[in-house]
Structure formats: structure tokens, C-alpha cells
Amino acid sequence: DVKVTQSSRYLVKRTGEKVFLECVQDMDHENMFWYRQDPGLGLRLIYFSYDVKMKEKGDIPEGYSVSREKKERFSLILESASTNQTSMYLCASSFETSVDEQFFGPGTRLTVL
Amino acid sequence: GQNIDQPTEMTATEGAIVQINCTYQTSGFNGLFWYQQHAGEAPTFLSYNVLDGLEEKGRFSSFLSRSKGYSYLLLKELQMKDSASYLCAVNDYKLSFGAGTTVTVRA
């Protein structure tokens, strides 16, 4: 069974703080993704990575950065958290981008005060 | 840009059939996914269509018409556990998701 884990289920931070969200997958998948999910907007892709040290911008990368130093781990970084970054953050991984399903982690509910 | 539309909410009775439509206008197309997401949980894969036609998997079927930019997910013999959000996602080198359709199954 593919397992995608995220470091926290719930997180509360203050405006201006630097926030790290960690994601780990155990199936040797090449590809990893970070989404945010907001009511009425669905899942929106923030960043993705096809290989270690590789990253590509998704649809809404502003205010975020990522790091992939190891194949199994993909980190999302909020350099200076703002209230409009309050959201559910979902990490996913897949073997190949085009045809393989993505496996999602349980999500991190981030609240920025 | 990507434009993926699906109804916001649907309600149906246990044992009935529900069809969730998804229309899309995207710059590229390499297939269409359907995911199920129960409240507070991660999305899980249901189906993937890359060619026109119907794909059947037990009580769930998914249909694709590429020329019409249209797909539907058909849920048969509805059960209470099918109450969830259903997400349509177009594969265009990366996934673009619709906002999701919340299905409520009533006894």
C-alpha cells in the first residue's frame, strides 16, 4: 500500500512566520505535488517535482517555495505566512505524471492568525 | 487557461443512480481522472479515462467524450457511504481539478 504522510494534521501560525510543511512517501515515486484546497475552488497546484532537486511552478506558486533534497521527501515552505494562506494543504505522489494516479496524504489544515 | 465545471451539490436516495457531469476546456488533454473525497480525508482514485467511451468498475462507471469536452461519473445502487465529494481532474501534463461535487445520499 502506498503511504503518503504529512508532518501535521493541524497547524496554527502567526502572520509573518516561516512555515514548513513536510511530506514523505514510501513507494519510491518520482513525482511529488503540493496542492491547496479551498471551498468552492477545489484543489489548486502550488508546486511539483519530477526528481530530486527538481521543481516546477504550478498554478499558484506565489508566496511559496519547495525543497526536494531526497526522493521520498517534499517540503512546502511559506516564507512569510499571511492570513490568505489559511487553507488545507495536500501532498501527493505518483510514479509517472501523465498516466498514473496520484496518491494523496491526509492533509494539513493550516490556520494563519 | 483551464476551465473545468461540475455541479456543486447533488442529493439522491439510497439505492438510486446519480450521474455527475464534468465539462472541461483545457489547453491540453491527456486523460481525465475522477477522485472521491470523504469529508476530512484525502482524495482517493476512482477512475481514469483517456479514450472515448465508458469504463465500468463495479458500481461506478465513467464516460468520456473528448470531442465534446465532457465526462460523467455514474454511481449506481447508491449506499450511504457514497456520500462524499467527487472531483473531476483533467490531465494536461499536470492535473487541473474542478471544484468538486458534493453528493449526499439519503435513506
Q: One digit per residue, pLDDT tens: chain A, 113 residues?
A: 669 999 999 999 999 999 999 999 998 999 999 999 999 899 999 999 999 999 999 999 999 999 999 999 999 999 999 999 999 999 999 987 556 789 999 999 999 99
Mutate to test the interface with A, among B8, B48, B95, B102 (most CBs of A within 10 A): B95
B65-92 per-position pLDDT tens digit: 999 999 999 999 999 999 999 999 998 8
State the pLDDT at residue B71: 98
Q: Are the Cβ atoms of A99 and B100 closer than 8 angstroms?
A: no
DSSP for chain B? --EEE--SEEEEETT--EEEEEEEE-S--S-EEEEEE-TTS--EEEEEE-SSEEEEETTEEEEEETTTTEEEEEE-S--GGG-EEEEEEEEESEEEE---EEEEEE-
